[in-house]
Amino acid sequence: AKAVAGLGTVAFAAHQIVMNIMSISFSVGDGLSIANTSLVGQSLGASRSDMAIIYGKVAQRIGLILAILVSGSITLFRAQLMALFTNEAAVILAGETPLIILSITVLFQIVQVIIVGSLRGAGDVKFVALLMFVSVTIVRPVLTWVLCYPLNLGLPGAWLSVLLDQFTRYIVSYWRFREAKWTRIQV
């Protein structure tokens, strides 16, 4: 928010609206992640690592289907979504490109948060905490600044940093899930 605030009031207003829409869209993944955390934890508690893996994979597939639906809705109705929050034409226009970037982001974010739910359910919380710490405190702020200012991409640069951050988290968490070492953690 601090980096975007320097881009001007129209960009900041559009950014805040897109952040609100992002919060709503991410709720889909958050709900599935919580359910998946419970199912994975119960399966591992019952010494059924096979079921934990199956629950994780099925939840990821459900999440991907929902992510495609959310992504398509954001893309198709981006102007209407912006208009729910403001009637300022400049703000609506400034928010349309970030919404397209958000529509790509949710494809990775929803599945990534479900994967992280599997890892949490298995007790792999140190890995999850480290991943989030590095992502939120280092990767995203640095990318945001570089893309907004030195590369002069403005508001779309800030949202590209969110996309790159979520894509990176997806790759790292997916790799961790596929390793399946999390199924052998003793809690």
- As given in the structure block, the two tokens for residue 132 are 């989030």
Q: What percent of the chain has pLDDT over 70?
A: 99
Question: Quick check: 75 pLDDT over 90?
Answer: yes
CA distance 185 to 114: 19
The residue assigned the tokens 């300022």 is 88
| Residue 20 scores a pLDDT above 90 | yes
Cα gap 152→6, rounded to integer Å = 12
pLDDT-based confidence at 133, cuts 50/70/90? Answer: very high
Say whether pLDDT at 109 is over 80.
yes
Which pLDDT score is estimated for 82?
96
What pLDDT band is residue 185 in, cutting at 50, 70 and 90? confident
Give every CB contact of residue 174 below 8 A, 6+ residues apart in sequence.
111, 112, 115
Overall average pLDDT of the 3-21 stretch: 92
- Split at pLDDT 50, 70, 90, the class of 108 is very high
6: confidence class by pLDDT, cuts 50, 70, 90: confident
Average pLDDT over residues 170-176: 97
Q: Give one DSSP letter per residue of 45-85, joined into a string.
A: HTT-HHHHHHHHHHHHHHHHHHHHHHHHHHHHTHHHHHHTT
- Which residue stretches of the chain are H helix? 2-5, 9-45, 49-76, 78-83, 89-121, 125-134, 140-148, 154-179
Whole-model pTM? 0.92
Residue recorded with tokens 């479900």: 114
What percent of the chain has a predicted confidence (pLDDT) above 90? 93
Band of the pLDDT at 62, cuts 50, 70, 90? very high
